Amino acid sequence: MSARAGFVWDSRQHFSRYIEDCGITCELVTPHMLAAPFFRGIFNCLIIPTGFGNPKYSNLLPALRASSLRIEKFVKNGGNLLVFGAATDNPAAYDWLPFSMTYFHECHPRKVVCSGSGVVPTIIEDFDAECIECDGSFPVHDAETAGTAEEHAVIIEKQIGRGRIVVTSIHEFPSRGFLLEFCRSATQTVF
């Protein structure tokens, strides 16, 4: 079965090309499309890249908040959601997710240690875990910690219904193996 990812951003990026190079069909989902009630995309996963919460980079945060119930329904029905760092000093930048968490913005390289089994720890397998750029941490969250740096959560995971949400502040593309498995393990779901 082929994997389909919705890349949520204002325009195509290098990241969307990277997703396609991994063998995953990638469709751009703009903030206007995301918030439009008539938009119906079919995806295995949605990917929200770094900087979504910073108005200098994107106008995505208001659309994510407006679409929070659709995002939750997408995940409950078997879709996966991958969210990167907000890249702004806003602890409430993730208030659109269906669980509570806060974000502390602080950008610098760190040693990342992944824990647990499954696909999530493979997110950094293409990089030197001793020195991975991160743009913050998640000091408070209602999820499982899947990766830490300096004793702070930098990768968290939450199962919601039949799908899951992975939130990370790593400031690198995820590994190819992680992307393939994360997208393929989810059910193609209407957003």
Q: Write out pLDDT tens, residues 77-114.
A: 999 999 999 999 898 899 999 999 999 999 999 999 99
Are the beta carbons of 131 and 179 closer than 8 angstroms? Answer: no
CA dihedral (67, 53, 168, 92) positive or negative: negative
Please name every residue paired with 61 in a beta bridge, in sequence order, or none if there are none. none
Mean pLDDT, range 47-65, rounded to an integer: 93
d(CA 151, CA 182): 25
Predicted pLDDT at 116: 79
Question: Tokens at residue 163, please?
Answer: 């799908």
4-190: which CATH topology?
Rossmann fold (3.40.50)
Confidence at residue 117, expressed as pLDDT on a 0 to 100 scale: 79
Q: Is the pLDDT of residue 1 over 70?
A: no
What are the strands of the beta sheet with 45-48, ordered from one edge? 25-29, 4-8, 45-48, 80-83, 163-168, 152-160, 144-149, 113-114
184 near 3, Cβ under 8 Å?
yes
Q: What is the residue-averaged pLDDT of the chain?
A: 93
Report percent pLDDT > 70 for the chain.
99
Model confidence at 53: pLDDT above 90? yes
